[in-house]
A and B are shown apart, each in its own frame.
Chain A
Amino acid sequence: MNISRYKFLVIFFLAASSAGIFSLFAVDPASATELTNGEVGPGTDKAWWVLPLSLFIFTFILGIVAIAAGIGGGVLFVPIVSGFFPIGIDFVRGAGLMVALAGAISASPALLKKGLANLRLAIPMALIASASSIVGAKIGLSLPAHLVQIFLGIIIVGIVAILLIAKKSEFPQVTKEDTLATKLGIGGTYFEESTGASVPWRVHRVVLAMFLFVIIGFLAGMFGLGAGWANVPVLNLVLGAPLKIAVGTSIFILSLTDTTAAWVYLNNSAIIPLIVVPSMAGMMLGTRIGVKVLEKTKPGLIKWGVIVLLGLTGIRSLLKGLGIW
């Protein structure tokens, strides 16, 4: 099968399945109950298994597309599912955290073994991010639903801007390691397979990065978003870690931040197996297929499609929160 057929198949499958899934949940206004917070309440007469099955299919496709586009599935899950599935915002965020966590803990052993996730870089940053994620999760669960939707919309539009603007640097120049980095022993070498050479690396601006991880953790906890979109630019552009180290370490940090935030959601009964398990299974299966699709496609077209989709879901979330759409 040639590349264009792969692209066509992926896009077609995405469009057709999305339309099918969303049409399943076109809520009948007559049977829906309007809650005080403006959300549509219980009243759908679908069989119980329709929703988990739809989530499985949807996240399977999302997993393929996310990998092929080079964008984390966790960041796509929350805005799309909260915008188009009849699921309360707390459950979507709880599931978003678990989906991102499952992906991260599955990928971390291989990344650690290859030296692409660095413990000494990850441990201080994850400590800060996970502490602030508790605060974010607590605030997120206590905010009214419409405010969460508004803030989520703003954040998603911001993420789209970061994805469009932020440049990545394969091997950033770090002329002088800072004192804190030296004390913590952050740095080392990794084996670059493409060149067959060992690449030495070190970092700087550790304090600034720590401050940024306070914000990243807070947002991850509040919105249940995987934070790769923010972790990677901070590790790569602010700290100056090589891109591969930044990506690998980001996934590892995510596993710790999301673990902490997930506990807040677990303790508040905001994590429901009926939503989480099919979403997790679909996403993990999809990402495995996505890796194979990625080998045969150029990510450009799919990436642009996903960025546009993410932007639209951000605007939709904003308008939903404002009661316009």
Chain B
Amino acid sequence: MKSNFDNQKGHDERVLYAKILRLFVAIGFVFLGVSFLAYIFELLPNVVPIEKTAELLTLRASEYVAQSSVPVGWDWIHHLGHGDILSFAGIVFLAMISFFTYSIIFFSYIKSKNYIFTTLVFIQLLIFLAAAFGVSTGH
């Protein structure tokens, strides 16, 4: 069948992607679990006290920001010594995994001179960056 022409290359890309993804997922969940335990057992100080967070959970996100001192956008990066922010960083790591894996297969596609998929993956990386940095902060 005609569409099988690239089956072996497609297989290599998939296996590479699967290996990287499995590694990052394992690291991500361990980091998230440990940081969350540090948060709930208050092993580190919190930016927003845990009781206050629980009390404000019925609000909209914008109201929560207004009523707490929670960092917005990427400001959390300056507060990594706090339990709640470290736990948040664990979630951020999970949300970055697709970016990491796409970055690696981007180079794999360049190497295999598959320019259509190199372009598609590059645009996807730009979309990830736009979501993470460019277009999504603020209410």
Residue numbers of A with Cβ under 8 A of B are: 35, 37, 39-42, 44, 46, 48-49, 51-52, 86-91, 94, 98, 101-102, 105-106, 108-110, 112-113, 115, 117-120, 123-124, 126-127, 130-131, 134, 137-138, 141-142, 145, 177, 181-189, 200-202, 255-256, 259-277, 280-281
From B18, B39, B55, B120, give the contact of A112 (CB < 8 A).
B18
A108 touching B18 by the CB < 8 A rule? yes
From A88, A127, A182, give the contact of B59 (CB < 8 A).
A88
B25 touching A98 by the CB < 8 A rule? no
B120 touching A113 by the CB < 8 A rule? no
User: With a CB–CB cut-off of 8 A, which chain A residues contact B1?
Assistant: 187, 189, 200, 202
A185 touching B124 by the CB < 8 A rule? no
B137 touching A202 by the CB < 8 A rule? no
The answer to whether residues A109 and B3 also contact, given A40-B58, A141-B61 and a CB cut-off of 8 A, is no
B3 touching A177 by the CB < 8 A rule? yes
Cβ of B70 within 8 Å of any chain A Cβ, yes or no, is yes
From residue B132, how far is it (CB to closest CB) to chain A in Å?
5
B side interface size, CB within 8 A: 72
Q: How far is the CA of A112 from the CA of B13 in the complex (A)?
A: 9
Cβ of B77 within 8 Å of any chain A Cβ, yes or no, is no
From B15, B40, B116, give the contact of A113 (CB < 8 A).
B15
Residue contacts A-B, CB under 8 angstroms, 14 given: A35-B63, A52-B40, A109-B21, A127-B127, A141-B62, A142-B139, A181-B3, A200-B3, A262-B95, A263-B131, A263-B136, A268-B65, A268-B72, A273-B36
From residue B124, how far is it (CB to closest CB) to chain A in Å?
5
User: With a CB–CB cut-off of 8 A, which chain A residues contact B28?
Assistant: 105
Cβ of B44 within 8 Å of any chain A Cβ, yes or no, is no
Cβ of B78 within 8 Å of any chain A Cβ, yes or no, is no
B135 touching A138 by the CB < 8 A rule? yes
Q: How far is the CA of A108 from the CA of B94 in the complex (A)?
A: 14
B5 touching A185 by the CB < 8 A rule? yes
B58 touching A41 by the CB < 8 A rule? yes
User: With a CB–CB cut-off of 8 A, which chain A residues contact B121?
Assistant: 123
A134 touching B127 by the CB < 8 A rule? yes
Cβ of B123 within 8 Å of any chain A Cβ, yes or no, is yes
A48 touching B50 by the CB < 8 A rule? yes
In the complex, which residue of chain A has the Cβ closest to the Cβ of B22? A109
* B13, B33, B98 pick with most chain A CB within 10 angstroms: B98
From A88, A102, A188, A267, give the contact of B57 (CB < 8 A).
A88
List 7 A-B pairs, minimum CB-CB distance, nearest first: A187-B3, A48-B54, A263-B131, A270-B61, A273-B87, A112-B18, A90-B61
Chain B, residues 86-126, CB within 8 Å of chain A (1/0): the string is: 01101110110111000001000000000011001101100
A88 touching B123 by the CB < 8 A rule? no
